[in-house]
Every structure is written in C-alpha cells, then in structure tokens.
Structure 1
Amino acid sequence: MRAPLSWLREYVEVPASESGRDVAARLIAAGLEVETVEQTGAGLTGPLVVGRVLAIEELTGFKKPIRYCQVDVGRGPEAPQNIVCGATNFAVGDNVVVVLPGAVLPGGFEISARKTYGHVSEGMICSERELGMGEDHDGIMVLPPEAEVGADAIELLELVDEVLDIAVTPDRGYCLSMRGLARETATAYGVPLRDPALLDVATPNAHGYPVEVADPLGCDRFTARTVSGLRPGAVSPIWLRRRLQKAGMRPVSLPVDITNYVMLELGQPLHAYDRHRVEGPIGVRAARSGEKLTTLDGVARVLDPEDLVITDDRGPIGLAGVMGGANTDIADGEGGGEAQRTTDVVIEAAHFDQVRVARTARRHKLSSEASRRFERGVDPEAAAAAAQRSVDLLVLLAGGTVEPGVTEIRTPSGPRTVRMAADHPDRVAGVGYGRETVVRRLQQVGCDVYGDIGPSALEGGERSTEGPEELTVTVPSWRPDLSDPNDLAEEVIRLEGYENLPSTLPRPLPGRGLTERQRLHRRVGRALAGAGYVEALSYPFVGEAVFDQLGLEPGDARRRTVQLVNPLSDEEPGLRTTLLPGLLGALRRNDGRGSHDLALFETGLVFLPTGTETVAERLPVTQRPTDEQVASLDGALPEQPRHVAVVLAGARERAGWWGGGRPADWADAIEAARTVAAEAGVELTLESGRYVPWHPGRCAALHVEIDGDRTLAGHAGELHPRALKALGLPPRTCAMELDLDLVERAGAGALRAPHVSTFPVATQDVALVVDAAVPAAEVESALRAGAGELLESLRLFDVFTGEQLGAGRKSLAYALRFRAFDRTLKAEEASSARDAAVAEAVERTGAVLRGA
C-alpha cells in the first residue's frame, strides 16, 4: 500500500516538523512493515508554471514532427515564451506545463535557453514522465481549462511529496486503505482521527436498483446506488489523478477513478456499471458449470461452480470481488465520440466471503486490487459509507444527480465478542501493563471493552480495586483477525512497543533433553562438516521433470509422491521421496557460479505415501484433541523417515606446493557413508549394486544389520553420465544417500565409550589371492569372523593385479592388529589368530594365501 503523506495528513494532525521517515519509524514501532519512503519531486526546482498555447508553427524538413510554439506563461500575451516541441497532442488554446530556463527537472536535468532545429527554445513543454509523475511519455500533459496561466505548477500538480510504501501483512487488511493507516498513525502519535467513513448515509428504501442475492453466505452485504445525468466530457481533476498516481494506480476515467479513490480511502472495493449496459436486476450467485465471462482485461474465462459471480438477465457480468466484466464497462467515448460516454452509473459496494474470493482469484490467476483487499478482510460495515462517498464525488465532479432509491441487502449478524482475563496480556508478555493500559490500547484499536473497569477508568480516572477478573471485548468490524484472547494481547503488546519487552531466557522443564534421534542428527552434521562437507538445505518440493532427469523408470517407487493441495509452484506439486534433487540442484547452481570443487550434505525428511492415508479431520482449537483424534491425524500422514545425503564434484584434495590434488570419486561417497554410520556405532556392509541414478559399475549398496537381518539402508558411488547430462552437472559427480533412521535402529545401544588397553599391539599382515569378482568386503567379513575376539582392527592397504597372478585374479593385502586387554600377547597367539582368519577366508571365498 502506497500512502502519500500529504493525503495522510488530511485525517491525522501529524506535526508539521515530522517527515515521512519519522512517520515510518512510528508505524514500524507499531508493527507495520514500511519498506521505503519515496521522495517524489526530489531535485525538482522551478520555475515551473502553467502556460497557454497562443500559436503553433509546424516546422518542416525534419524526420519527425517539430513545432515552434508561442506560450503565455503569465507575462501577458504580448511577451510569449518561444518553445520548440516534438509532441503533437496539444492545440492552440490548451493549457500545458512549462519549465523555464534555470529550472532543474527530476534526475538533475537542467533547463536553459538553447538553439535547436533552427530556433531558440526558451524552456520546455513537459510530459508526465519528465515531471516524475508516471511513465506516460506519449505526449504533452494537457491541463484543464480552468488552470490559471502563470500559476506554480509544482504546487498545482503536488509534485513534491513523500510516499510511504507499506507491505501489508495478511492479518492487517484494514491497512490497505488510508483510513486504516490513518488510524494506526493517530494511535502512534496519540492524536484524534478524522474518520473519512463518518458520513451522512442515505436510508435504504425499496426504490433502489433491483438486486437479488442468491448466495447470502458468499455475499452478506450489497449496496447499490444510482447516479444519472453525468456530464459526458467530465474528467478527473488534477488532485484526484495525482493521488491515484502516487498510490500506484493509473487514472482511467472519472467514474472508475472515483471508485478506485474511494477504495484507497476507505478500503472498500467498489464497481461502477454503465446503467444502460446492464439488463435487468443485478444478481449474486454461484457460477454454473460451463459459463463464460470476458473480464475487463479482455480474457475470456471459463467459470467454475465455486466462483461467485455478479449477473444480470444475460448471465455473468463480473467475478465477485475480483474483476468486472467487459460487457458492462464504463464507456469513455473513444472511437464513438461523446455519445458513447457513460452518463448513468450504478455503484456496487458489497462484502464478499474472503475465502471464496481468494480461491477464485487463484483459480483464474487474476489478482486485483479488489481481491487483495477481500482476501485479507474488508470492513462489512463500510459498504454503505463507500457507496455514499462515491455518489457524492460523482455529483461534485461530474454534475450528476443522485437518484433517491437506495438498495441495501444485509445478512443479519451480531457483533463479535471475545472474553479475556484482564491480565492476559501481562502473562503473555511477562510485563505488568495493568488493566487501565489494556483497556486503553484495546479502545484505540476500536474495541468496546466491558467488565471490571468502571466508566471513570475508561476516561482516565481512578478505578475500584474490586470487580470481576474478566473483560468482554467487542471487536470492530474492520478487524476480522481479532478472534481470541491472544490476538487482543498482541494488539496491546505491539502498541505498547515490542522494543519495551524485556529479554528473558526460557526456563526448560527438568528432565527434558534431546532424543536419541536428535542427538544422532547433530552428531552426523558435525562429523560431515568436520570431513569438509557444507550443509545445504533445500525445499522439499519436487515435480515429475526431475525424476525424468534422474532416469527413474515409470514404475519406480520414488515417483509415487505425496501431492500437495496448494503447492507453491505448479511445476513442483509433490513432496520429495529422496534428498538428491535438492542437493544436486544446489550443486548445479554453485558450479554455474564458479565454485567447481564442491562437497555438500543435507539431513532431512522424505515423504513416502503408504496408501492408507485418510483425509485429516479439522479439529477445533478450543480444547485439546482426544487420543482418537490425534491417532486419526497421524493416520493421515505419510511415512517420514530422516535421510542423509552428500554430493561431490571437482577436487576432493586440492593441488599445491605439497603435490598434486585428487578428484572426488566414488570412494569418497562411500567414505561419507562410513562416517555417518560410525556416529551411530554401526559397521556398514558393502556390495556392488545397480540403482538409478548411480553408474551401474560404480555403485555400492549399503547394508546394516537389524535384529540379525541384513537391511538395505542406502547407496553410494558415481552418478550415471546420462543423469549428469540431463541435470547439467559436472562429469564424475558422486553422491550418497542413507536412511538415517535405519542406521539409528541398527546402532541402538551400540555407541559406547572405547576401552583403551595398556598392553602392546601385535600386527600381522596377510595377502590373499581371490577371484576378481569377489568383493573385498566379503573377504574382510570372513577375516573378522575367523580372527576372533583378539582382533582390534583390520585394514585393506593394497590391491594388486598382474600376469603372475593369472587372468581374473587379484591380491588383497590386509593389516591385522591383535591386542588383549588383560595381557601382552605372545607371538604364537597372534599367529594362531591370523591363521584362523585366513582359514575362514579360504573356506568362504576360495582365497589362496599369496606366497604359499
């Protein structure tokens, strides 16, 4: 919402010394988000005056039309200013804006007399863009005939002003109006408010324009007023057009400009119909399936049965609360002369259901100034005042006549009340505001407060200490967001000042701490960060396109996603079943920005549909849900295991004076998996795997043991070249993904402090020749099983292939460390354990001891 300070001062007596930035600081302290304070006319200095064109000489011989004009600038017709101009949209007798030599236009453009096109130009005739009023540069700005020649155009056009640009949050829809912002400003400065909605409104009667509301839940207020006999040539005055421009709206025609002006002033969207283009009564109903409507933007739209529409005898003439139809638009006379201009207008001021309007606007991808306000909540009691204000302006500016008929349809509704303990804001904020302060602040918001505060206290007098402890608060009609005691407490706290809240540390209950799952999550993050990985958090939303890029088959379980009813993007309507899309997207972006040596990790939830999900029950917030209701909510959720994933590209070890670097490869991805497993006290079992999107020859399947059964927990290795090309990733990119919950289950109770022995270690090396197809992990498992309890660690330190071993054979060399915790091992004990390990490997894998 753009709010000109000059307009705001009409409703609030802001001290003259206060600048726009001062007002912005007050509003920010009251909880509003003021993004910028724009200085309009900054750098503009006169003389800038109103001039009247006395004569025009058309210059020829140039590529474009050039005119040599004589303009009276208030010095008398006998001393005109001679100005060269290239615009052709003005004629002799028109009033224009003239900037004279010595002036400076916005942007530091200095004006001086200079020779151009063979004549001396003593100034410039200005367009709106040259004056900083807008982007219209199609022609010269022509002023109304009543503008006084020689008058100061800076003051006339209100060129110098300050405009506050406020980002209105969804709960403060009333601030999408000057009325709402003026109320907040008056409260911030502690001065009275001149409410523009306090008007003498005509009494409803049975003689107004006929209106039929068939959907009272969708439309609980509808006011219709008629004005006839508008002057066909009436145009919006300068002050009205300037206020619209400063507020970010484009002037269109007088009736439309008035409805937009009143919407900005009071917050009530309005619509003006050409009475001669409306056939029969105006109706409000739900759209019928297959109905069509061409809206004011010229788009033909197919309506949905959930849309709320405005109709006449022909059918829909507008989307309620969103946009009107082209078939009843106000005619401005273009192409048809004054005979085509609208002279009789029906003003609609209605209140529509905010949810229906929001869904309609989103369904048709049609956000408008009206829909933005209805979505956030419009004051239902403002409709009659807004209609009255509109017809008053039409009479004043276009010479129309207000017809005596006043149509008003209302769905009966009582005031909304909230019961709240008088000290509830104190307990929420941890500050002792006191009852009088609570009542005063709520009254400033517009609430009526009853209860334990007597009349004298409401006027600032003394209060009796006796009385009930509860207040009954009637909330104003323009604040639909105030529905429970916490909402009221928030109003008291923000008006008293968030900056006045003390900083206190929370007091945790004794005996509470992190769960084992949380501790493992943190340990894994620290371990991966210590190993050189950078955490990258990504959004959990995916679409079918990324699964195609990864190369997943049509029947792959990962393609079966939980679909969101209201996704942020139509291209990503599902929840992720794997962490890889988000991580790989982060890697691609960073690689494209020049960071080529990358190691990223993420821990997060994935969402796996079970097929048994139900529709979640909508629970009340007035009481704690029952165990059955909680179970029903849990049943509506998909499985949400926590995964951990890493991706690598570029150099894993950089080159330098110490030697050559090393590129990241599949072994680094596997080592990251081992790092994660070690934090849970789990030993991974590896075997060669085939799992998209990994390269089939460079993919390891990662298994853990749970309750004696070997369980697949994830995969690691190098990604397939086709996936890398489709995703735009660097060659040889590697990745790992593990189910962290499975790893936790496998390591339940296994993480213990190590026992440090004071006795020496006995090291034995062994080299085994096996078939090339035998995994090293299988040989290692056999050695561990045969070595027994004396084995402290086992490490593969060499892999050798050569002609002397024979085709299809390889040699695996292991270092075995043996140690006893209660004695020094004898050489015979270490050798015996080594021989037992070799024997087990021979039996399981067919290994042959090298050199034997």
Structure 2
Amino acid sequence: MKFSESWLREWVNPALSSDELAHQITMAGLEVDGVDPVAGEFTNVIIGEVVECGPHPDADKLQVTKISLGDYSSTTVEKGELVSIVCGAKNCRTGLKVAVATVGAVLPGNFKIKKAKLRGVPSFGMLCSESEIGLSDSSDGIMELVQDAPVGTCLREYLDLDDVTIDVDLTANRGDCLGIKGLAREVGVLNSKEVTEVEISAVKSTIDDVIDITIEEGTACPRYLGRVIKGINPAAQTPLWMVEKLRRCGTRSIDPVVDVTNYVLLELGHPMHAFDLSKINGGIKVRFANKAEKLTLLDENEVTLKDKTLVIADEPANGNGKALAIAGIFGGLDSGVTTESTDIFLESAFFAPLAILGKARQYGLHTDASHRYERGIDPTLQNDAMERATQLLLDIVGGQAGPIVEAKSESDIPQTKNVSLRREKLDSRIGHHIEDTKVTEILTRLGFTVNVEGEGSATKWKVVVPAYRFDIKIEVDLIEEVARIYGYNNIPNIAPKASLKMVNKKEAIIDLAKLKNTLVNRDYQEAITYSFVDPKIQSIIHPNQEVMTLPHPISSEMSVMRLSLWTGLLQSVVYNQNRQQSRVRLFEAGLRFVPDENAENGVRQQNMIAGVISGNCADEHWSVEKSATDFYDIKGDVEALLSLTCDAASYEFSKAEVSALHPGQTAQITKNGQLVGFVGTLHPELERKLGLNGRTLIFELLLPEILGQKIPEACDLSRFPANRRDLAVVVKDDVDAKKVLQLIEKVGGSLLIDLNLFDVYKGQGIDDGYKSLAIALVLQDTNKTLEDKDITDVIDRVVDSLQTELKASLRD
C-alpha cells in the first residue's frame, strides 16, 4: 500500500525524519519497499491569476496572457507587476488560478525558465501543467487550481509538495494496516503517541427515502448498510486536496462520488461502492449468483458468474432481479454512477474473507476492495465508513441524505476473541524478560483490553482482542506483538543454554538422511519441487486418475496436488536440459496426495522418495567409455537404497505395467506381497510430450516401507576355506532368473554362503525358447573343511530341485 507521509502525520506526528519513520515501520514488520517524492524538484513556481487572455497576433494556437502574482516579487518581477506570458494551452482563460514558473525558475530535469520571444511576442515565464512539475506522467493542459488558491504563494508550500510517498509491502495477516487509520495506530504505538482520529459524526437525514435490504447468505455477508442520497450535483469537481491525497496513494481521480469512496477506503481501510439509484429496481438482495447469470463489469467486460460468487442484486416485485455488482470485488457497468447521476445508493458492507477469497482471480481481477476483503476488514467499521462518506459527499456534491438502512445476521458477525498470555511462555519464546508494566502498556496501546492476574513467573495477561485485529488468535500471536513493538533490536543477543541428552532412537529405523546420502554418493542431487503441479502435465503422467484440485490456486499451472513426485522431477529435467545440461541425476523426498474417501480429509498423504536419471552414465572423460544410462543403472541405485535395510533379499522385482513407463522396461518392487514402488524407463511417447531429450529413467518408493532395517546378528567367522562350484542351467525363457536363485538359496541350506548369476546365454547350442544361466555357488562350513562328498550332496540337491520344480537341466 502506498500512502502520503503528510496525510499520516495529520493523524500522528512522531519526531522522526522520513527515513527514520520508514525504518521504524520496517522493523515493526511492515516492510517498506520505497520512499519517493510526490513531485519533481522545482523552484520559483508561484500561484498566479490570469487577468487577461487574448489571441496571439501571429499564431492561431497561442494566447497572450497577463498574469497577476499579487505581492510576490523577485529580481525579475516587481511587486504588483503583471507578467506577460505566451501560452499554448487550450484551457487557459481569464480568471483561472494557475502555476506560474517565473524567469529564473528551475523545473524537473534541470529545465531553466528564461525570457523568450514566441512569434515576436515577449514571454516572461511559463504556465505549468501537472506533468511539467512532476505531479503526473501526462496532462491535457495547464494546471487549474481552485479559485480560493492564494495568489503570490509558492506552489510547493501551498500543495505541501515536500512530501513523500511511502510504499509498504504488507503481509496477508496485516489487513488492518491497509488504511491511514491502521497505519497511524501502528505508528502511534511504536512511538507512544496519541493518534488524532478524524472526527466522524452522524449525518442527520433530511429525506425519508430508503431501499429495503435482504441478506440471503448471512455467512458470506453478515452485515450490509445502505443509504440513499438524492439531488447531488453531477457537475461538481473533486477538491484539489482530495485529488492530491488520492494521487499520492497511487489512486487516480475519476469523479467526486467515486473519489469519495476511494478516499474512505484509503483513510479508514474500508471499501465502499456507490450505485446509480435510478438503475436499481426494487430492493437490494445479497445472494449467490444464479446459474449462467451474466454481468457487464465497470471495465465493460461481460462475465458469466460462477457458482458461489456473491453478488449484490436488485429485487423487483416480480422477483426477476438482476446482478448489480460482484460483492466486495467489482461493480457493474449498468448500475454504476455516471456524470449524469443525480441520485445514488451508497453501500457499506462486511463480507466474510472466505466468501471473497480467490473469487477475483477467477475473473482475472484484482481490485483494492478484493485485496482488503480477502484479508479481512473490521466488522464494526461499516457505520463509520458510511457516515464519513456521506459527510464528504454532502460537502462536495451536495444533495440530501436518507436514513441508514442496516441488514445483518448477528450470529455470523465475528465475535470478540479472548486470548491469554503467560509470563513463562513469553520469556521462553523471546529469551528476554520484559517488565510486566511494559508488556501491559504495549498490549493496551495496541488497542487490547487487558486484565493482569498473578505475579512473578505466574503472571498472566487476559486479553480481549479488538475487532480489527482478526489475525490475533492464539498465545504466540500476542508474544509476537509484544516482541515486535518492544523492538527486535532491543532484545539482547544471548546465546541459548543447551544441554546434551541421549535420544531414544530405535536401531531398526533408518534415518532419511542415510538414504539421501546414499543417493548423493551415487552422483544424485537433491531437488525440492512444488506440491502444486500443472494438471495438464500430471494428466499425461497419470492419466485417468482422480486428483485433488485446489479451490484457490496460485495459478492455473499450480492448481492440483501431485499424485507422485515424478511430475516435479520430470519438469526439472526438462528445465535443465533446456539449459544445456545433458546429464541430469535428481532425487526428492516428500509427500504425494492421493484422493481417498476413507482417508482423513478425503486425501491420503504418503511419504515418498523418487529419483530420475538422464544422459550418460558418467561425465565425459578420456578414460571413461561413453555409455548411456539404462534400466540396470537405475535398478542398481534402487538396490543400493534397499541394501540399507540389511534385508534386500525380501524385496522382489517383477514385471509390471505402468502407463508412464516403457512396457518392456518396468518393474514393480514388492515386499511380502506389499507394493513398495516402481522403477523403469519413461515411455517414449511421454518423453516426446514432455519435451525430454533422450532416454529418461525413474523410480519412486514408499518411504515407510524402506525405512525399517533388519538388526544384524553377530556370528562366528569360519576359519575354514570356501569352495566355489559353477552350474550352467538351461531353463525356458519365461522362467525368471530370480526364481532360479531363490530356489537354490532355499535348497542350499546353511553351507551356501554366496550366490551369483554371472552369465546369461542364448544362441548356438541352446534350443529356441530356452536360455542358459551360469551361476556361481560358494559353500563353506564354520566347523570343518568341506569334503567333496559334502559339496556333491548340496549340488545334487540343487540340481534335483531345479529339475523337479522348474524343469531345468544342466547344460552339456
């Protein structure tokens, strides 16, 4: 929010410079983004009056004027002298009060005003426009001042142009500071100064005209106030002081009625809206939009209103009411105030934040009103805003005001909150003791009603939170307020005291960091991607799967929750490949979100670890042969993770079909029949759709299924030699090598200490449909040296079992 420093100082005026004030506000948690002058640097610009204005004798577009500067005098202008100035502005006329740059004046950009001749007529200065003195970017003519502007006065002093605009970047929880009133209250607390609030008195109604108001959706709109004002002067002009205040807060002047509502929004932080009374048929109803209902907005765009969009509609006797505005967001064109409006209906309402949140974005809008309503406004401020706006309107455009009509749903209006603050919790959180009296003073100056109980370490502050501080809900919120106002820079730097304590940790649980280090040691890099993903990309990776859609997404590209970590990782690979990174190896640990009616809140959150590799096995090097990664590379990485469990044999890899993966290069990983995860090569069609370069391999595992490890048991080391025997076994192609190894391990008994498949052969000497598996068996006993008979018995049992159960035979 931008605000004028001079406007703020009308409310509270601390003895601080502009820079000191900006620093103080920043240190209080309201970060200042910039401090900028409200006008350009200029000198010797005086308020003058056009006493003569006639055509130039030799130029159709120029006028020759005589300007009175009153009692002003300088080295170039004598007191009471009329100054002759040639002007080309169309709006120059006799009797106009203008900004005069006299000879010797310096305008923004170091532009010096000198005596000149324009088409033969001497000119002793220049009549300035707003853009020429840095008050605006462009202007249509010379600056027109109000008729009571004092002639001969310095323009900079008259308009208080030695002011600055301070731009504050407020966090979403501090909606109470989106107005001069809230900011002044904050500055007053920080400097222990009283705030001089604007005087708001009830405007006495002079007519009896009213409009009936009906609230259909009380939870969305707990309170709605309306007032009829008739007989306003549509030709009236917004006073310069208001135009200037609006400009310095980044708001353009439009017309008096709109300017007043914008002024109240900036002053009190409360949005308002004005309707043309003649365009309202019957009463006012606050309701949700009807199906396919249309509305032309003030920006002349027609929108089809969506479900659960709160609207302000009229309510004629026949019941066919039309939407007049999107509540709390944007007005409608047809019911808007125009230069011909003489009767208006003024609105001041409290809309619940959840009813407005995200709605503006659905229509591609972001307005000052929606910005405030989404964050929350004071639910008790509606009457003050209405009276203040009425008072200003009657002063500027005249007219007669009717009584205020209020409709409300009392049970839906936010109630005052009671929060307790304990001394023990306050000291432990900030690590510093603040005196009881100081804490009480801070809470009181913040507007809280405070009751202190107990003493010493048992002191407790019972606080009633004011309505405008809707962000204060729990004890730590009060702790933050005390520390913030006390000043973070006033809290001494004290090293925290800590003592070592043995942690009870189960040996059977693997630390996640151990898994991450394993992947890092295998040349992976950890990635952190968003849990919100693009629905289009996710639907390519996980087609026909139900997803959790966010009601108020950051953007359309981040509108659904991820079904796996693959979506973010694959996008990261594309991002890196587009920046000439041909070899990418990434992993991530995090949650996936699977819709499940039986789960808490309808979504099953599962901890996962996933990885992706692309490019060559190793970086380019003269001593390393260039080789692209394949399925067995990433399978080896997965096996390295499973080996940490000391129970890798319990995990089984088997063929699987996953829509995102290559049908012939995909494996599912199970343990005791439970699915653990998948590993495989990305489907070529998917690589094309995602824009990936080359083969991409990926895995994903359920973390809870691999974080448990088998506790190692100590055993004797054998002092006797090991014996190796090799078997060449011929089996059918459809027999997995895994089954062969599992059967040998089962039959081999305690003497079999190692087993290794070292060759697979198909070709000459092997019948079609068969393959030869070369397997090494290592046998050893802890009590004696094995004899040939012992070894032969084991080998015979293995061969017999292979022949019986798998129809295998020894290769000739």
TM-score normalised per structure 1: 0.78
| Residue of structure 2 in register with 1:793 after alignment | 754
| Residue of structure 1 in register with 2:310 after alignment | 307
Question: What is the alpha-carbon distance in structure 1 between the residues aligned to residue 769 and residue 219 of structure 2?
Answer: 80
Q: How does 1:717-756 map to 2 (within 5 A)?
A: 717-743=680-706, 749=710
| Residue of structure 1 in register with 2:667 after alignment | 700
1:498-539 C-alpha deviation (Å, 9 max, x unpaired): 45286646889976547966x353322221122111122333
Aligned to 2:700, the other structure's residue is in SS state strand
| Residue of structure 2 in register with 1:473 after alignment | 463
Flag the 1:155–1:798 CA change in 2: closer, same or farther, 3 A.
farther
| Residue of structure 1 in register with 2:326 after alignment | 319
Aligned to 2:442, the other structure's residue is in SS state helix
Match of 1:686 among 650, 653, 656: 653
How many Å apart are 1:192 and its aligned residue? 1.7
Contact 1:5 1:162 in 2 (8 A): yes
Match of 1:588 among 554, 566, 574: 574
| Residue of structure 2 in register with 1:4 after alignment | 4
| Residue of structure 1 in register with 2:642 after alignment | 677
Q: 1:668 is aligned with what amino acid?
A: D
Flag the 1:814–1:477 CA change in 2: closer, same or farther, 3 A.
same
Q: 1:28 is aligned with what amino acid?
A: T
Q: 2:582 is aligned with what amino acid?
A: H
1:307-326 C-alpha deviation (Å, 9 max, x unpaired): 25253646543333333333
Flag the 1:45–1:577 CA change in 2: closer, same or farther, 3 A.
same
Q: 2:710 is aligned with what amino acid?
A: G
Contact 2:40 2:133 in 1 (8 A): no
| Residue of structure 2 in register with 1:30 after alignment | 28
Flag the 1:504–1:10 CA change in 2: closer, same or farther, 3 A.
same
Contact 2:290 2:307 in 1 (8 A): yes
How many Å apart are 1:598 and its aligned residue? 0.5
Flag the 1:600–1:610 CA change in 2: closer, same or farther, 3 A.
same
Flag the 1:95–1:808 CA change in 2: closer, same or farther, 3 A.
farther
Contact 1:425 1:433 in 2 (8 A): no
1:569-589 C-alpha deviation (Å, 9 max, x unpaired): 556655433322222122112
Contact 1:289 1:305 in 2 (8 A): no
**More moved, 413-422 vs 588-597:** 413-422
Question: What is the alpha-carbon distance in structure 1 between the residues aligned to residue 699 and residue 716 of structure 2?
Answer: 31
Match of 1:654 among 619, 633, 641: 619
Aligned pair 1:777/2:738, yes or no? Answer: yes
Flag the 1:359–1:688 CA change in 2: closer, same or farther, 3 A.
closer
Flag the 1:649–1:235 CA change in 2: closer, same or farther, 3 A.
same
Q: 2:514 is aligned with what amino acid?
A: R
How many Å apart are 1:79 and its aligned residue? 5.8
Contact 1:361 1:367 in 2 (8 A): yes
Flag the 1:114–1:763 CA change in 2: closer, same or farther, 3 A.
farther
Contact 2:179 2:267 in 1 (8 A): yes
| Residue of structure 2 in register with 1:40 after alignment | 37
Q: How does 1:7-18 map to 2 (within 5 A)?
A: 7-15=7-15, 17-18=16-17
Q: 2:331 is aligned with what amino acid?
A: G
Q: 1:24 is aligned with what amino acid?
A: A
How many Å apart are 1:172 and its aligned residue? 2.3
Q: How does 1:404-419 map to 2 (within 5 A)?
A: 405-407=403-405, 416=416, 418=418
How many Å apart are 1:140 and its aligned residue? 4.2
Question: What is the alpha-carbon distance in structure 1 between the residues aligned to residue 613 and residue 620 of structure 2?
Answer: 17
| Residue of structure 1 in register with 2:200 after alignment | 199
RMSD: 4.6
How many Å apart are 1:447 and its aligned residue? 2.0
- Structure 2 gap ranges (5+): 70-75
| Residue of structure 2 in register with 1:529 after alignment | 520
Match of 2:238 among 236, 239, 242: 236
Q: How does 1:389-408 map to 2 (within 5 A)?
A: 389-398=388-397, 400-403=398-401, 405-407=403-405
Contact 1:785 1:840 in 2 (8 A): no
Q: 1:317 is aligned with what amino acid?
A: L
Q: 2:370 is aligned with what amino acid?
A: S
How many Å apart are 1:191 and its aligned residue? 1.7
Contact 2:586 2:612 in 1 (8 A): yes
Q: 1:31 is aligned with what amino acid?
A: G
How many Å apart are 1:18 and its aligned residue? 1.8
Contact 1:58 1:67 in 2 (8 A): no
Contact 1:655 1:661 in 2 (8 A): yes
Q: 1:702 is aligned with what amino acid?
A: I
Question: What is the alpha-carbon distance in structure 2 between the residues aligned to residue 307 and residue 374 of structure 1?
Answer: 13
Flag the 1:43–1:281 CA change in 2: closer, same or farther, 3 A.
closer
1:794-824 C-alpha deviation (Å, 9 max, x unpaired): 4444455554657666554455444445556
Aligned to 2:36, the other structure's residue is in SS state strand
| Residue of structure 1 in register with 2:482 after alignment | 492
Contact 2:84 2:123 in 1 (8 A): no
Contact 2:449 2:463 in 1 (8 A): yes
1:435-470 C-alpha deviation (Å, 9 max, x unpaired): 3233211211112234559xxxxxxxxxxx799966
Q: How does 1:593-608 map to 2 (within 5 A)?
A: 593-608=579-594
Contact 1:759 1:824 in 2 (8 A): yes
Q: 2:447 is aligned with what amino acid?
A: G
How many Å apart are 1:732 and its aligned residue? 0.9
Flag the 1:493–1:844 CA change in 2: closer, same or farther, 3 A.
same
How many Å apart are 1:426 and its aligned residue? 3.1
1:18-46 C-alpha deviation (Å, 9 max, x unpaired): 223x22332233233x1412323687344
Aligned to 1:258, the other structure's residue is in SS state helix
Flag the 1:848–1:503 CA change in 2: closer, same or farther, 3 A.
same
Flag the 1:799–1:221 CA change in 2: closer, same or farther, 3 A.
closer
Contact 1:232 1:343 in 2 (8 A): yes
Contact 2:761 2:771 in 1 (8 A): yes
TM-score normalised per structure 2: 0.81
Question: What is the alpha-carbon distance in structure 2 between the residues aligned to residue 741 and residue 466 of structure 1?
Answer: 47
Question: What is the alpha-carbon distance in structure 2 between the residues aligned to residue 801 and residue 396 of structure 1?
Answer: 99
Contact 2:39 2:135 in 1 (8 A): no
Q: 2:13 is aligned with what amino acid?
A: E
Flag the 1:718–1:472 CA change in 2: closer, same or farther, 3 A.
closer
Contact 1:307 1:360 in 2 (8 A): no
Question: What is the alpha-carbon distance in structure 2 between the residues aligned to residue 492 and residue 473 of structure 1?
Answer: 13
Flag the 1:381–1:657 CA change in 2: closer, same or farther, 3 A.
same
| Residue of structure 1 in register with 2:338 after alignment | 331
Flag the 1:585–1:263 CA change in 2: closer, same or farther, 3 A.
same
Q: 2:619 is aligned with what amino acid?
A: R
Question: What is the alpha-carbon distance in structure 2 between the residues aligned to residue 445 and residue 190 of structure 1?
Answer: 10
Question: How many residues in Structure 1 have an aligned counterpart in Structure 2?
Answer: 784
Question: What is the alpha-carbon distance in structure 1 between the residues aligned to residue 508 and residue 515 of structure 2?
Answer: 12
Q: 2:687 is aligned with what amino acid?
A: L
1:100-148 C-alpha deviation (Å, 9 max, x unpaired): 8988876x6766889999999999887666665555x474464236467
How many Å apart are 1:256 and its aligned residue? 0.8
Contact 2:106 2:112 in 1 (8 A): yes
